[in-house]
Amino acid sequence: MITFVGAGPGDPDLITLKGQKKLAQADVVVYAGSLVNPEILQHCREEATIYNSASMTLEEVLVVMIEAYKANKKVVRLHTGDPSIYGAIREQMDELDIQGIPYKVVPGVSSFLAASATLKREFTLPGLSQTVIITRQAGRTAVPEKESLRLLAQHGTSMCIFLSTHKIEEVVAELIQGGYDQNTPAAVVYKASWPEEAKVVGTLETIAKQVREAGFTKTSMILVGPFLEGPYERSMLYDPTFSHGFRKGTESRE
């Protein structure tokens, strides 16, 4: 059996129980070494064969996984965070489908969620934002023009910008061109959930300088939006006057 597992954002305790069990049973593990915390490999058996995919091509990864599968071995392909976000998992699954090889996916805690936990913030606040945009600045991988930061900024909602901290000046310029006020709160979290985790919190006007001073480049998440600071409305769910399927309130309100 081949299982793709989300390793979580860094802290080895942030893998799911299911993912940990799969790792503990695996004969072969192929992990994304550029981002997965190697400490998570402590969950593996000593006899397990471990490959670091950082220096491998898609073809090489597939050969390792498929040969192990054919030899009746248990394989874990370990991705950082959740594999469905910038994980390059689809191209692997499609090839396994073509070859008729079964596999499962165990989700993981994505780094954008570890970042909100670090900051102790909620992305979706009543009266403020009910949408979270996950995006990135174009790099070697292009971003479709209709998804440019400038256009996404028009929504004024909560944004998580992956893979872009090294281009923070460009990110800020596009967001402001797109309509965010320069006083919009912004934060960058470096290595959320790792022992060396760090953060800077400011506004679009200040954040680029703060990031440069802190020296964050890789493994950091840019968060932007009014959810970081400022007023919001309390929730209907816990409003004493509001009834719902699990609780009768003092008066019903739409």
Q: Site for ligand SAH (CB under 6 A): which residue of 30, 62, 82, 105?
A: 82
CA–CA separation, 76 and 5 (whole Å):
7
193 binds ligand SAH (CB under 6 A): yes
- Please state the separation of Cα 121 from the chain's center in Å: 15
Q: Site for ligand SAH (CB under 6 A): which residue of 26, 28, 87, 210?
A: 87
CB 102 within 8 A of CB 206: no
Q: Site for ligand SAH (CB under 6 A): which residue of 36, 53, 81, 125?
A: 81
CB 58 within 8 A of CB 92: yes
H helical segments located in 120-167: 149-152
219 binds ligand SAH (CB under 6 A): yes
H helical segments located in 71-167: 90-98, 111-119, 149-152
CA-CA distances (angstroms) from residue 139 to 40, 164, 168, 238?
29, 8, 12, 43
Site string for ligand SAH, 47-76 (x = CB under 6 A): ------------------------------
Q: Site for ligand SAH (CB under 6 A): which residue of 221, 223, 224, 228?
A: 221
19 binds ligand SAH (CB under 6 A): no
Q: Site for ligand SAH (CB under 6 A): which residue of 96, 115, 152, 228?
A: 115
CA–CA separation, 49 and 21 (whole Å):
16
110 binds ligand SAH (CB under 6 A): yes
Kindly state the number of chain residues that form the binding site for ligand SAH, as judged by CB under 6 A: 24
Residues of this chain that interact with ligand SAH (CB under 6 A) are 9-10, 35, 79-82, 85-87, 110-111, 114-115, 162-163, 189, 191-194, 219-221
